[in-house]
Structure 1
Amino acid sequence: MHFHHIAIEVKDLETSAAFYQKYIGLQEERSFLFGGEKIIFLKADNFRLELISTTEQSSNNPSSMHMSFEVDSINEVAQHFNENGIFAIEGPYKLENGWETIFYQGPDNEVIEFMQIGGKADT
Structure 2
Amino acid sequence: MRFHHFANEVKDLETSVAFYKELFGLQEEQQIVIGEEKNVFLVSDHFRLELTSGGGQSVDLHQAVHICFEVNSIKEVIYRFNKNGIAALEGPIKLENDWQTVFFEGPNHEVIEFLQVNGERV
Q: If the TM-score is normalised by the length of the shorter chain, which range does it land in?
A: 0.3 to 0.5
Q: Return the TM-score normalized by structure 1.
A: 0.47
**TM superposition score normalised by structure 2:** 0.47
